[in-house]
Chain A
Amino acid sequence: AQSVSQHNHHVILSEAASLELGCNYSYGGTVNLFWYVQYPGQHLQLLLKYFSGDPLVKGIKGFEAEFIKSKFSFNLRKPSVQWSDTAEYFCAVNPASFTGGGNKLTFGTGTQLKVEL
Chain B
Amino acid sequence: DAGVTQSPTHLIKTRGQQVTLRCSPKSGHDTVSWYQQALGQGPQFIFQYYEEEERQRGNFPDRFSGHQFPNYSSELNVNALLLGDSALYLCASSFFGTYGYTFGSGTRLTVV
Q: Chain A: residues with CB nearer than 8 A to chain B?
A: 4, 6, 32, 36, 42-46, 49, 51, 90, 92, 94, 98, 100-110
A-B pair count, CB < 8 Å, reads 62
The majority secondary structure among interface residues of chain A is loop
Measured between beta carbons, the chain B residues less than 8 angstroms from A46 are 101
Residue of B nearest to A92 (CB): B42
A-B contact pairs, 5 of them (CB 8 A): A32-B99, A44-B90, A102-B48, A105-B45, A110-B40
Measured between beta carbons, the chain A residues less than 8 angstroms from B33 are 102, 104-105
Interchain CB contact (< 8 A) of B55 among A90, A102, A105, A106: A102
Contact A49 B99 (CB under 8 A): yes
Residue of A nearest to B6 (CB): A43
CB distance from A26 to the nearest CB of B (A): 15
Interchain CB contact (< 8 A) of B45 among A51, A101, A104: A104
From B17-25, B67-75, B102-110, the one touching the partner chain is B102-110
Measured between beta carbons, the chain B residues less than 8 angstroms from A4 are 42
